[in-house]
Amino acid sequence: MSLLEIKNLHVRVDGNEILKGIDLTVNAGEVHSIMGPNGSGKSTLAQVLARRDAYEITDGSVTLDGKDLLAMKPEEAACEGVFLAFQYPVEIPGIGNTYFLRSALNAQRKYRGQEEMDAMDFLPLFREKLALLEMDDKLMSRSLNEGFSGGEKKRNEILQMAILEPKLAILDETDSGLDIDALRIVANGVNSLRNPERAMLVVTHYQRLLNYIVPDFVHVLVDGRIVRSGGKELALELEEKGYSWAEPETAGVGASAAPALRRDGARA
Amino acid sequence: MSTDMNVVHELASREYEWGFVTEIEEDRIRKGLDEDVIRMISAKKQEPGFMLEWRLNAYRYWVQQERKQAEPRWANVRFAPIDYQDIVYYSAPKQKKQLSSLDELDPEILRTYEKLGIPLAEQKLLANVAVDAVFDSVSVATTFKEKLAEIGVIFCSFSEAVQKHPELVKKYLGSVVPHTDNFYAALNAAVFSDGSFVYVPKGVRCPLELSTYFRINAQETGQFERTLIIADEGSYVSYLEGCTAPVRDENQLHAAVVELVALDNAQIRYSTVQNWYPGDKNGKGGIYNFVTKRGKCLGRNSKISWTQVETGSAITWKYPSCILQGDNSVGEFYSVALTNNYQQADTGTKMIHLGKNTKSTIVSKGISAGHGQNTYRGMVKILKGAEGARNYTQCDSLLIGDKCGAHTFPYIEVKNSSARMEHEAATSKIGEDQLFYLQQRGLKTEDAVSMIVNGFCKQVFRELPMEFAVEAQKLLSVSLEGSVG
């Protein structure tokens, strides 16, 4: 059984169809990249998988470890192991970073029937992950993301991911707003979290990030459909030739070609 | 609204936990207000002549005001006219004789306070809190009185202070809030039946948190208590009040007056957790909380801090204020006011700078949910002689849902050009963005809302004494349940 199986997913926002039949299979241990131009539906896909409520699902199914993901509330999906690193992490005044992280971890542990972690047990884990992301622990005594620079916010997302240890990590445009040093640190953090039990979905529209986080598979999303799938070299080809190259001559060709490639990829 | 928000909405049906009625024999007088009623109240309390005169004076002033229909109407609250002749102005639990110890207190009343989580039996008390309990109109028990008396601190009911310390009462009663101050202050001065009295002598740092717990029990009664706290030179006292009332369909009036006086180098911290019955979710019933609270920093280097967490009452009309008369004196106001369902609050503060180098800080956090209307109204006045005065004001509003309202009316009057004023204001909405973010990390909707709101109020909570900060946080979560939708 695959970790994530998306079948014929159709999604509307305010009456407009954004996703027009997505098929995607992700196995544990794999890193898939979703690339596509602005407005192609990448972020919508990420948010739907994290169970944001603003979307109307008109057709299709999504399972996580065989469970119906679309029937879950956001907090259930989170507790089942879906983590979304946000493109724009929100600031919440008055909530300490450390307190928030421990509350989130404990909410998830409780859901899974594990014992809650007290501050004493939490601290060493927390320090270890802070070091991994080269973060200053002064930041942690501040309120959640408040006054953080763009890069600090993104690092904080990966820190949260490192502590929550999800089964499926979705990175939504994690590279946007990062300078080259921050990008390297974030990518190191992400790479250190790659393991045979965990899958990642890396959403980006630049190839740059994929030099650092090297995907096993690349899918090209255009206008709500996956028009091409391939290995990591597809990203380079895209960079060179542009998204218009990836778009099918006719809808029929793209629609039939893409799933075939995807299946090859998934088996590899 | 999203289904997640609806989940919270469903929790709304939770009832007011403190709404029970205690069955007890009452000594109550007839409804209505006239000079005879004032005389009756004064006689019941066996007051000296000066008190009766003081009351009658206030009453006559109030009658004029009522004729002129001078009930304040400028506040941003709506309610039907109050029939002042339809209220019972004195109701007391019947006691056979004077109490000499807590053991003689009616066990029903003891049980009431236990249910409220305020055990009066001294051995069960938090080691550092002394409690004065006011039941309807009278103070029924004051704990730790003897222990405090050893260091010269007087903490007793107002009635007792009138009997035993008439010179202090005469000197300070009405010195901060005169009966002419406003309509409700006049009414209170005429009919107030009890309250708390505190005197901290020179140089004494009161070792206990002093606390009053107000409970309205009887039907059709108003509660009109009066608190007077005097901190003599170089002393310190921290005082907390809490309030609850049974669930009743009709509105009940609570018109209290609090006066604080701080002499040279003295400090008073006054904290309130107000949880009067707010009415049901359709806005029926609830307490009208029309309260005048003011502190006077009479002495040099004195300091008065008001911290309030207001979650109850159908209508709140309340402006705990500071008159900064002594040079270098400091006034502070930290407030969290929450309105849910059909609650209305018009609350804030006045900082009147008279002395040189006086400083004031205002931090107000208004939370509106349901159909609640929340108004901050604050005045900062720097008078001519207040050389080097400074004020910092921050008022923030948080909106939950789209049927509530937040309003801000800051008034600033500066007559000395050396003054420094800062004003910050912000209005935010608990966004779906914030909620989704917290949920995506595994937190349930109600925990997420509560976390956001507590974060919003943090600046105020940290001003509360520890035990009460925890209580206030819990109260806020309970009061907010069902607010998102």
A75–B434: do the CB atoms touch at under 8 Å? no
Q: Which residues pair with B289 in a beta bridge?
A: B254, B316
Chain A interface, mutation test: which of B394, B440, B458, most A Cβ atoms within 10 Å? B440
Alpha carbons B52 and B189: distance in angstroms, whole number: 10
pLDDT tens-digit readout, A58-73: 999 999 999 999 999 9
Q: What is the DSSP letter of A173?
A: S
Chain B interface, mutation test: which of A92, A105, A158, A164, most B Cβ atoms within 10 Å? A92
| Of B288, B301, B300, B291, the residue nearest B259 (C-alpha) | B291
B437 to chain A: closest CA residue: A90
Work out how many CB contacts closer than 8 A connect A with B.
80
Phi and psi at residue B182, to the nearest 5°: -160, 170
CA distance A45 to chain B (A): 15
| Of B111, B154, B100, B158, the residue nearest B134 (C-alpha) | B158
What DSSP letter does each residue of B86-138 carry, written as one string? GSB--EEE--SS--SSGGGS-HHHHHHHHHTT---SGGGS-TTEEEEEEETTE
Contact between B236 and B206 (Cβ < 8 Å):
yes
Alpha carbons B65 and B63: distance in angstroms, whole number: 5
Alpha carbons B139 and B95: distance in angstroms, whole number: 12
pLDDT tens-digit readout, A120-146: 889 899 989 998 888 887 877 788 998
**Average pLDDT per consecutive 10 residues, chain B (485 residues; last block may be shorter):** 37 52 69 90 90 94 89 84 85 60 64 60 50 63 76 90 94 95 93 90 90 66 86 94 66 89 97 81 83 96 93 88 97 91 90 97 90 91 96 91 88 94 86 90 90 86 75 71 57
The total number of residues shown for chain A amounts to 268
B2–A53: do the CB atoms touch at under 8 Å? yes
What average pLDDT does the structure give for chain A?
88
Alpha carbons B451 and B259: distance in angstroms, whole number: 35
Contact between B438 and B313 (Cβ < 8 Å):
no
B441–A100: do the CB atoms touch at under 8 Å? yes
**ipTM for this model:** 0.90
The pTM of the full predicted model, rounded to 2 decimals, is 0.79
Of B440, B441, B458, the CB nearest to A94: B458
Residue type, A228: R
Of A53, A77, A86, the CB nearest to B437: A86
The phi-psi region of residue A211 (left if phi > 0; otherwise alpha if psi is between -120 and 50; otherwise beta) is alpha
Chain B interface, mutation test: which of A53, A70, A84, A141, most B Cβ atoms within 10 Å? A53
pLDDT at A22 over 70: yes
Those residues with Cβ within 8 angstroms of residue B138's Cβ, 6 or more apart along the chain or in another chain = B92, B93, B157, B159, B193, B194
CA distance A94 to chain B (A): 4
Coil vs helix vs strand at A123 = helix
- pLDDT at res. B426: 85
Q: Which residues pair with B374 in a beta bridge?
A: B345, B406
Alpha carbons A24 and A259: distance in angstroms, whole number: 8
Contact between A142 and A132 (Cβ < 8 Å):
no
Contact between A32 and A18 (Cβ < 8 Å):
no
| Chain A contact present for B24, CB below 8 A | no
pLDDT band for position A87 (cuts 50, 70, 90): very high
Residue type, B114: E
Contact between B293 and B262 (Cβ < 8 Å):
no
Coil vs helix vs strand at B235 = coil
Neighbours of B413 (CB within 10 A): 11
Q: What is the DSSP letter of A118?
A: P
Coil vs helix vs strand at B12 = helix
A103–B443: do the CB atoms touch at under 8 Å? yes
A95 to chain B: closest CA residue: B455
The total number of residues shown for chain B amounts to 485
How many CA atoms, within 13 angstroms, populate the side-chain half-sphere of residue B459? 18
Alpha carbons B141 and B101: distance in angstroms, whole number: 9
| Of B230, B216, B219, B223, the residue nearest B192 (C-alpha) | B223
| Chain A contact present for B394, CB below 8 A | no
Those residues with Cβ within 8 angstroms of residue B211's Cβ, 6 or more apart along the chain or in another chain = B129, B130, B131, B132, B239, B240, B241, B242
Alpha carbons B84 and B34: distance in angstroms, whole number: 10
Q: What is the DSSP letter of B216?
A: -
Contact between B86 and B220 (Cβ < 8 Å):
yes
B455–A143: do the CB atoms touch at under 8 Å? yes
Phi and psi at residue B163, to the nearest 5°: -75, -45
Alpha carbons A243 and A246: distance in angstroms, whole number: 5
Contact between B45 and B162 (Cβ < 8 Å):
yes
Burial class (CB in 10 A: 0-12, 13-18, 19+), A255: middle
